[in-house]
Amino acid sequence: MTTFDAREWVYFSSGNANILLKYVGNSDPNLTKKLLRLKRVGNKNCDERIKSDLLKDYFLHSKCIELSSKFLLDLNHKLIKTNPELAVPASTNGEILLISIFARNHGILMPNLLNEVNNTVHLGNHLKVHYGDSELVLEMKPKWLYNLKTRNCRNCCLSKYRGKQIINCPLDLLCENKIPNWSKRIVQKLRDSEHSINYINSLELILTEFFMKNKIIGYLFMLQNRYYDSSRESYNRRILNLKSADEVPIELIESQTLRDVTLFLNIHSLSRNNYDIVKDTVDKPKTLISINNDSFFEVDCKLIDLDLKTSLKFEYWKETELKLIESGLYTSDKYGLVGCNRIVDII
Ligand SMILES: [Zn+2]
């Protein structure tokens, strides 16, 4: 069992399923630049993760560790004070309401992909750019990459339905000719934000080159659609006919999990010398980019949020799909929906 000291960990971020804590101590140098991920009470995701030979190089090197009850209790106590919004009543014991944050006595220790950055620009739904002096990180969820049969895609329809701004449609990343504009819109949006960001002049070309050279979007497209002949229609037939969680096939759980992974691109510059040294040996998740043979960059691509979804979510998936169908957004030419990309040629 690992003995950590709750005083050395602080809140970093949280989602519906997990809380991330950042190590700020100095008693264990191995923990520097590390995050500890703990499951939240109410988290229904499984402990099992997506397994995939195609994607395994993009997974973070993480380690599951057993934690002491004292550490978790101390941390729980600390977070209830610093982040009371995270606490949920876990159970009742007579008159006493127990407040708890964590659901398990083990956690995942993983590298902090945002260690070198300290500013964040929220560009839109599931799209952020983080930056610091020496690194820029693009964080995005490439959700619902599929062969479009309707006018508008599910990503754009759901964003519109929820009143979110659409900056970019992920389906553009499936077509080589559309990737440059996808990158251009990100850079334009960053310029509008008036943040002073390193590499901004090169970013459009870096992103374009990355998505043309690296296969990650193609892999996700294949895996998200492996069991459903790539169309929303067959997804609809399966999902709308489900009557209970027991009927949810594992293939659907895997597809839904892969439609919600988060992708990080960590971008930093290289000297010409370093570029020349590593250019022939660089491995799959990393892509090297040379711009006009004058500036050089390394892009490291990683995927997180790979815990399998629970079959209990089927009712939510069904409801969302029904709402979107009834809204008429899939076929609408109103509300700024201009029709999404139907060409898939990056595979
Ligand atoms: Zn779209």
Angle separating helix axes 232-240 and 250-258, nearest 10 degrees? 130
Residue identified by tokens 């693009």 is 138
Query: Residue 156 C-alpha to ligand 1 middle, in angstroms?
Result: 4
Query: What is the distance between the alpha carbons of residues 260 and 141, in angstroms, rounded to a whole number?
Result: 6
Structure tokens, 163: 């009143």
| Contacts (Cβ under 8 Å, ≥6 apart) of 202 | 291, 295, 297
Tell me the residue type at 269: S
Alpha-helix residue ranges (DSSP H) falling in the chain:
69-82, 154-161, 179-192, 200-213, 216-224, 232-240, 250-258, 272-278, 314-327
Query: Residue 144 C-alpha to ligand 1 middle, in angstroms?
Result: 9
Local confidence pLDDT in tens for the 347 residues of the chain = 667 999 999 999 988 788 999 999 999 999 999 999 998 877 766 678 899 999 999 999 899 899 988 898 899 888 888 888 887 766 555 444 455 677 778 889 999 999 999 999 999 889 999 999 999 999 999 999 998 989 999 999 999 999 998 899 999 999 999 999 999 999 999 999 989 998 899 999 999 999 999 999 999 999 998 866 555 566 667 788 899 999 998 888 999 999 999 999 999 999 999 999 888 888 778 999 999 999 999 999 999 989 899 898 999 999 999 999 999 999 999 988 999 999 999 88
CATH class of 6-111: alpha beta
Query: Residue 279 C-alpha to ligand 1 middle, in angstroms?
Result: 35
Query: Residue 325 C-alpha to ligand 1 middle, in angstroms?
Result: 15
Beta bridge partners of 67: 2
pTM: 0.91
56 by DSSP, 3-state: which? helix
Query: Residue 231 C-alpha to ligand 1 middle, in angstroms?
Result: 14
Query: Residue 285 C-alpha to ligand 1 middle, in angstroms?
Result: 26
Query: Residue 57 C-alpha to ligand 1 middle, in angstroms?
Result: 28
Beta bridge partners of 264: 139, 302
Query: Residue 181 C-alpha to ligand 1 middle, in angstroms?
Result: 14
Query: Residue 255 C-alpha to ligand 1 middle, in angstroms?
Result: 18
Predicted pLDDT at 211: 97
Query: Residue 114 C-alpha to ligand 1 middle, in angstroms?
Result: 28
Query: Residue 69 C-alpha to ligand 1 middle, in angstroms?
Result: 46
Q: For the chain, where do the domains classified as CATH 3.30.200.110 start and end?
A: 6-111
Query: Residue 226 C-alpha to ligand 1 middle, in angstroms?
Result: 20
Query: Residue 259 C-alpha to ligand 1 middle, in angstroms?
Result: 14
In the structure, ligand 1 is a single-atom ion and the residues with CB under 5 Å from it are 153, 155-156, 169, 340
Query: Residue 337 C-alpha to ligand 1 middle, in angstroms?
Result: 8
Query: Residue 249 C-alpha to ligand 1 middle, in angstroms?
Result: 27
Predicted pLDDT at 228: 62
Predicted pLDDT at 279: 85
Predicted pLDDT at 152: 96
